[in-house]
Amino acid sequence: MKKTLLILATLLSFSLPLSTVKAADYAYFGFEPAIITNYVAVKKKLGYVRLTVELMIEDSANYETVEHHAPLLRDAIIAIIGQQPEAKVKSINGRHEIQRLCEEKVKNLLTQETGQPLIKKLLFTQWLDN
């Protein structure tokens, strides 16, 4: 028991005072309307996917900046999805890879335009394909 209290007291002495802990200030931007685009399906036919995309913005003060660049970001997401093969679009792992590619592209575009990536995460909140 003494050992446990000593360890606990040691750990507490290294923790930050509550006054220095700051809550995260995130905002979410959703592309409206949902993104609907084609992808290359088997035997040269086209398939389509409908998805909703949310951007997790690191500071709510940057919401309007992200909103201003939304057409550029939407175009980049559509371009990435349109280049994907059917197998990737229809698999869970493929969707995660597409999401990662879109997130990297959006962060790069925002960095080019504003000097900072501004977003923490890009999320696919709905995904329907045929």
User: Which CATH number is 98's domain given?
Assistant: 3.30.479.30
- Residue 83 domain flag: yes
Provide the domain limits for residue 99: 25-129
The answer to whether residue 57 is domain-embedded is: yes
Does residue 104 fall inside a structural domain? yes
Residue 60 lies in a domain: yes
Domain presence at residue 2: no
Highest-scoring range by mean pLDDT, 8-12, 23-27, 89-93: 89-93
Provide the domain count of the chain: 1
pLDDT at 124: 96
pLDDT digits (tens, 9 = 90+) for 80-118: 999 999 999 999 999 999 999 999 999 999 999 999 999
The pLDDT score that the predictor gives to residue 41 is 80
Report how far apart, in Å, the C-alpha atoms of 12 and of each of 4, 5, 30, 54, 111 are. 12, 10, 40, 38, 39
Q: How far apart are the first and last CA of the chain?
A: 61
CA-CA distance, 26 to 29, in Å (whole number)?
10
Q: pTM for the complete prediction?
A: 0.79
- Is the pLDDT score of 120 beyond 60? yes
CA dihedral 109, 123, 31, 130 (to 10 degrees): 110
Tell me what pLDDT residue 5 has. Answer: 38
In DSSP terms, 15 is beta-bridged to none
